[in-house]
Amino acid sequence: MTAIKLPKDSKMLSPKFTFGVATASFQIEGGVEDRLPCIWDTFCATDGKIADNSDGKTACDHYNLWQQDIDLIESLSVDAYRLSISWPRVITLDGQLNPKGVKFYTDLLDGLNAKGIKTFVTLYHWDLPQHLEDQGGWLNRDTAYKYAEYVDLITQALGNRVHSYATFNEPFCSAFLGYEIGVHAPGVVGKEFGRKAAHHILLAHGLGMKVLQKNSPDSLNGIVLNFTPCYPSTDSDADKLAADYADQYINQWYIKPLFDASYPKMIDELDENCKPEILDGDMNIIAQPLDFLGVNYYTRLTYSAPSQAGEFYTELEHLYPRTDIGWEIYPKALTELLVSLNTQYKLPPVYIAENGAAMPDKMEDGVINDLDRIDYYHKHLNAVNDAIEQGVDIQGYFAWSLMDNFEWAEGYLKRFGLVRVNYVTQQRTIKNSGHAYKALISQR
C-alpha cells in the first residue's frame, strides 16, 4: 500500500470531519529547566525503568522549536492539533500560575489559531507534579481537588483559545500501568493500589468537567480513554468468561462510570483491600455530561481461562502480524469496539484521539518509505469508516503521532511519528506516511 484511501462516498471525506495529529507535553517538549519536576522525570532517573536509559530533558526540543513545529503541522494540511498542557510547567509549588509556562501555551495556541488549526488540549497526559506524588499522588484523594484547582487556573488563563478540552488521557494507563504493575511512573506496584488511583483520577475528571462547564462552556469538553478490546482465544464458555472479565478490568472500568455512574460488576469480586473508597456523591460527580468521547486504539488482546486458582484470566501473547512495539495489527477490532460501545452506551460524538503504529523505519537517501505504517493507517481509517457506516457518530481522527518522540518506558527506541526526528540535530523529515496522510486530507 503506497496510499491511504477511503471509499469515494465516505463521510470522512466531508469537510465536516476533523483530521488531526497528536502529541503530549512530556513526550516532545524538553525545556525541563523552566518547569517543576514531574513523576516521569523521577521515573526516568531510576535505574532500569526506561529501555534506553533516556529521559525527557530534551525530547524533541519542542519547547524551543514550537514555531517551526506549527509550520510543520500546517504543512501536513491537517484540520487540528492535539497537544497536552504540562501541569508542572504552568503551576508553581504554591499552587499559583507560572506566567512563563502559561505564555508558552498561549503563544503556541495563538500560533495555531492564526493558521486556522483547531486546538484540542489535553489537561493531563501523565506528567503529575512530583511534589504531589510525594503526598501520595493519585492514591491521595486530595490530588483530585488539586487537579480541579489547576484546571480552574489554566482554563481561565487560556481564555477562548481552545477548541476542545480533554480532562484526561487514558486513565487506565495512569492507574494500572502507574500504580498497579508499575511499568509507568510513578512505578508503584500492588493490586491494592490500581483501582484506588483509578477512582481518584475519575473523580478528578468529574471535578474538572464541572470547572470546564463554568470556565469554558463553548469548547468541546470531554475525556480520552484507551481501549484494548478483549477477545476469547476459543469459543468455549470459560475463555469467553475470561475475556469478559479482562474487558471489565481494563476497559469497562473507565467508561461505565462516565455513562452509568457505576463500576462494572467485577468490583464485587475484588478483594476488600483492592476496592476504592467511594464516598457519597462521587459517582454522580464522575458521570458529568460529555460533549465528546475520545477513543484511543492501537491493538487487541486475546484471553483464555485462568491457569491458576485465584486468577480470572490468562492474557496471551500478542498474535501476528505485529508492529515494532510488538502489538498485534488487527483493524477489525476497532470497528467492533466502536459499534459495541455505541450499543452499550449513549455516546456523545466520538473522536478517535489516537491511532498509529511504531515501525522499524529506515532512512534511505533522505527518504523514509514506511509502507508498513501507510498500510496500518489505510486499514484503520477504513475500519473507522466501517463503524460510521454502522451508525456510530465519529467526527474526527487523530494520528499518533505528529513526530517521533519519547515513548515512555521504551524511551526513544520506538518511533510512532508521521515525521522522523533526528534526536542529535533535531531535524524533522516527513515520512512517506506523513505525505500519504496529507494526500488523503488534501483530496477533500
Residues that bind ligand GCO (CB under 6 A): 24, 27, 169-170, 173, 226, 296, 354, 400, 407, 416
Nearest Cα to 42, choosing from 128, 143, 170? 128
Give helix then strand counts, H and E, for the chain. 16, 15
| Set of cell numbers at residue 210 | 464541572
Closer residue to ligand GCO (CB): 228 or 382: 228
Interatomic CA distance for residues 318 and 302, integer angstroms: 8
- Give the dihedral sign, CA 216/219/225/226: negative
Catalytic residue, candidates 133, 180, 336, 354: 354
The least CB distance from residue 128 to ligand GCO, in Å, is: 14
Active site annotation includes 149: no
Catalytic residue, candidates 133, 170, 407, 410: 170
Closer residue to ligand GCO (CB): 254 or 416: 416
Closer residue to ligand GCO (CB): 86 or 98: 86
Closer residue to ligand GCO (CB): 188 or 295: 295
Closer residue to ligand GCO (CB): 119 or 169: 169
| Set of cell numbers at residue 15 | 469537510
| Set of cell numbers at residue 182 | 508499575
The least CB distance from residue 172 to ligand GCO, in Å, is: 9
Please list the residues that pair with 392 across neighbouring strands: none
The least CB distance from residue 226 to ligand GCO, in Å, is: 5
Which amino acid is it at 206?
G
HEC letters along 351-392: EEEECCCCCCCCEECCEECCHHHHHHHHHHHHHHHHHHHCCC
Dihedral of the CA atoms 276, 282, 284, 285 (nearest 10)? -120
Peptide bond before 186: cis, by omega within 30 degrees of 0? yes
The least CB distance from residue 82 to ligand GCO, in Å, is: 10
Parallel, antiparallel or unpaired: strands 363-364 and 367-368: antiparallel
Contact between residue 153 and residue 97 where contact means Cβ atoms under 8 Å apart: yes
Parallel, antiparallel or unpaired: strands 367-368 and 314-315: unpaired
The least CB distance from residue 62 to ligand GCO, in Å, is: 14
Active site annotation includes 269: no
Closer residue to ligand GCO (CB): 98 or 400: 400
Closer residue to ligand GCO (CB): 155 or 226: 226
The least CB distance from residue 319 to ligand GCO, in Å, is: 18
The least CB distance from residue 43 to ligand GCO, in Å, is: 14
Q: Which are the contacts of 182, defined by CB distance < 8 A and separation ≥ 6?
A: 188, 189
Count of residues making up the chain: 444
Contact between residue 176 and residue 194 where contact means Cβ atoms under 8 Å apart: yes
The residue behind cell 475475556 is: 243
| Catalytically annotated residues | 170, 354
